[in-house]
Amino acid sequence: MLLAELYFHNGPLLNYLHFSPLSHSPATVFDCSPLPKHHQTAVMGNCCFGGDGGDQSAIGGSSFHPNSNAPNDAVDGFLKSRGYHGLYTEIELSLSASNLRDRDVLSKSDPMAVIYTKGRDGSLQELGRTEVVLNSLSPQWIKKIIITYHFEMVQTLVFRVYDIDTQFHGIEEKMLKLEEQQLLGEGTCLLSEIVTKQNRTLPIDLVRKGESGSSTRPMKLGQLTVHAEECVASKTTTELVFRCMDLENKERFSKSQDPFLVISKCVESAHVVPICKTEVIQNDLNPTWKPVSISISQVGSKETPLVIECFDFNNNGRHELLGKVQKSLTQLENLHSSGQGENLFVPITVGKDHQTKVLKSRLFVDKFSESVHHTFLDYLDNGFEMNFMVAIDFTASNGNPRLPDSLHYIDHSGRPNAYQKAILEIGEVLQCYDSDKKFHAWGFGARPIDGPVSHCFNLNGSSGHSEVEGIQGIMTAYASALFNVTLAGPTLFGPVIAAAAMIASQSLAANEKKYFVLLIITDGVITDLQETKDALVNASDLPLSILIVGVGGADFKEMEILDADKGERLESTTGRVATRDIVQFVPFRDVQGGEISVVQSLLEELPSQFLTFMKNRDINPYTT
């Protein structure tokens, strides 16, 4: 199903978004000019909202909840279903080399660099080529290579440097046949290794083809230096305040509407992708909404057509279209400068013709301002780190670890069980953001040898410290613990969350540049739900995010309460509300073997959670 069908058809996606099928028709299709491929990149997922929250959740059939600042879960869900995940930002790579081998007899080599991305299956996809530098063994290439950085993915890069034969010097670089050139050397690294280095500069040894990443010591054939810069457009954000006048009253039994706006961008083939919404304002035909912020990279460019739709909120989820306009950011800026309003229109059908009806209702832009915001990569560049932690469920419901039907069964063939797979996939991404690679690891719900049931014990068996060395250290400690504890119960999260929160609190007090990520892997629904809520509310003020993976066939619906993506902030027994969402939950079976991985499902929100914490604490990456 195409992106445009979000609005145009009374199908499953429409029902999921709870938009009224009567509100849209095929006339809603706009004549949107196709965008260049490199402009179709989003940054940080959702747009930001000014103020403390909206008056009402706009998307979905949820009931009124005052002062909620609920994420647009329906829009997010749709974007995720179409592959729009996590942090997207464009990175510009600059290359230079030194001490290259000289393959020419009468002159020095004429080097050109080629960059590839490497898939998990080992396949290479070319990203781009530099220009050819004549007669140089230490070239500094001018041409930059653009790559989209995905936080939640392991992005392996392969660099190859070729000596271009003299007979091919007049040919455009992209037309050169690489098999006809001499390979001077090959190097490989992860994109995350580059962006986490100070000054985002990484030296890479060049070796023979196929030897990069080898455990042996291959002969060095020179050195390649890679420098990364975040594209400026990724940091530019536009803040807007929208106002409407003279909205039509379509309520049968009252004299007012509950309006909200949905902002979408036009992409290729006249399709629209929702990127932002306002809060709902009750009983107002002349509403002024709270500020919304849209990054330039979210929409592609200031000239990209945007569709701004005004809906009347209904508790049953069937929101009625009140009118729409189509304007680019540049045109919205002009509206603001002129102080004039733009008339809304609605699609209508006359016979077999699809037409538009211009309304007296008008949209105004009361504020339009642009600013450069600190990004996730800005913090990494200034030495901030993400520290990985893990807590593993050892309750008896997992089954006897020595039997093949157990979730904890370790297959001697090397095939990882669900627990091992989650640790490997999450750890593979996060370890690059932790310089010392010492990870806290706990177990819960088991009885250590000659002891009572513990709901937070050190996985390494130590009574004094919980850290292990690297991802392999976690795997080793996990396998050892299976034979040194007795599986028991019940399933309690509170103690391990409290342990992680204590470490995060101590780090914050010491002004360390650390943000902690706790991965909890469990096979069942927790029995201390309110205690867990209390712990999460208390932890929401700390540099901590919590990822929860549900393994096995249990019904995890109760667990979704902990994930505020559904719109409601967690509340403690004392009535305190979480200052931010720090939990991301996913059942392993929903993503295992599917289009998206556990890693992408869990990690996509981490950068925005990280940035929300830094913003709440007013922590500037360049003044700490």
Residue ending a domain, among 164, 199, 230, is: 230
CB 310 within 8 A of CB 58: no
Do 362 and 382 reside in the same domain of the chain? no
Do 563 and 420 reside in the same domain of the chain? yes
Do 457 and 323 reside in the same domain of the chain? no
Number of domains making up the chain: 3
Look at residue 10 and tell me whether its pLDDT is greater than 50.
Answer: no
Do 542 and 404 reside in the same domain of the chain? yes
CA distance 244 to 533: 39
Long-range pairs for 512-515: beta carbons < 8 A, 24 or more residues apart? 513/379, 513/382, 513/383, 513/384, 513/385, 513/624, 514/384, 514/385, 514/386, 514/387, 514/543, 515/384, 515/385, 515/386, 515/387, 515/543, 515/544, 515/545, 515/610, 515/613
Do 219 and 252 reside in the same domain of the chain? no
CA distance 337 to 332: 9
pLDDT tens digit string along 386-418?
999 999 999 999 999 999 999 999 998 989 999
Say whether pTM exceeds 0.85. no
pLDDT tens digit string along 486-529?
999 999 999 999 999 999 999 999 999 999 999 999 998 789 99
Do 343 and 419 reside in the same domain of the chain? no
Q: Does 61 map to a domain?
A: no
Residue ending a domain, among 230, 260, 289, is: 230
Helix axes 494-509, 529-539, angle to 10 degrees: 10
Tell me the two tokens of residue 588: 């392993």
Q: Does 67 map to a domain?
A: no
Residue ending a domain, among 317, 343, 372, is: 372
Look at residue 603 and tell me whether its pLDDT is greater than 60.
Answer: yes
Element (H, E) at 409: none
Look at residue 281 and tell me whether its pLDDT is greater than 60.
Answer: yes
Q: Does 365 map to a domain?
A: yes
Provide the pLDDT confidence category of residue 214 given band limits of 50, 70 and 90.
low
Do 484 and 422 reside in the same domain of the chain? yes
Q: Is the peptide bond before 490 cis (omega within 30 degrees of 0)?
A: yes
Q: Which of 592, 188, 613 is nearest to 386 (CA)?
A: 613
Do 421 and 538 reside in the same domain of the chain? yes
Tell me the two tokens of residue 401: 């670890």
Look at residue 82 and tell me whether its pLDDT is greater than 80.
Answer: no
Q: How confident is the model at residue 249, as a pLDDT?
A: 84
CA distance 424 to 430: 10
CB 363 within 8 A of CB 342: yes
Between 152 and 112, name the one with better pLDDT. Answer: 112
pLDDT tens digit string along 162-176?
999 888 988 999 899
CA distance 296 to 41: 10
Q: CATH number of the domain that 220 lies in?
A: 2.60.40.150
Q: Does 397 map to a domain?
A: yes
CA distance 568 to 537: 13
Look at residue 122 and tell me whether its pLDDT is greater than 70.
Answer: yes
State the residue range of the domain holding 310. 22-50+236-372
pLDDT tens digit string along 182-213?
999 999 999 999 999 988 999 999 999 876 65
Q: Which of 501, 491, 498, 495 is nearest to 522 (CA)?
A: 491
Q: Does 64 map to a domain?
A: no
Q: How confident is the model at residue 215, as a pLDDT?
A: 56
Sequence letter at residue 2: L
Q: Does 157 map to a domain?
A: yes
Residues 6 or more apart whose CB falls under 8 angstroms from that of 445 comprise 393, 394, 395, 396, 453, 455, 487, 488, 489, 490, 491, 492
Give the whole-number percent of the chain exceeding pLDDT 70: 80
Strand pairing category for 544-550 and 583-587: parallel
Do 203 and 345 reside in the same domain of the chain? no
CA distance 354 to 27: 5
Q: Which of 124, 576, 97, 22 is nearest to 349 (CA)?
A: 22
Sequence letter at residue 37: K
CB 43 within 8 A of CB 293: no
Look at residue 31 and tell me whether its pLDDT is greater than 60.
Answer: no
Q: Which of 520, 522, 549 is nearest to 535 (CA)?
A: 520
Q: Does 167 map to a domain?
A: yes
Q: Does 241 map to a domain?
A: yes
Do 119 and 44 reside in the same domain of the chain? no
Q: CATH number of the domain that 547 lies in?
A: 3.40.50.410
pLDDT tens digit string along 563-588?
766 557 888 999 999 998 899 888 87
Do 200 and 131 reside in the same domain of the chain? yes
Between 93 and 16, name the one with better pLDDT. Answer: 93
Q: How confident is the model at residue 557, as a pLDDT?
A: 77
Q: How confident is the model at residue 371, as a pLDDT?
A: 83
Look at residue 317 and tell me whether its pLDDT is greater than 80.
Answer: no
Helix axes 418-430, 470-481, angle to 10 degrees: 160
Provide the pLDDT confidence category of residue 81 given band limits of 50, 70 and 90.
very low
Element (H, E) at 408: none
Do 460 and 586 reside in the same domain of the chain? yes
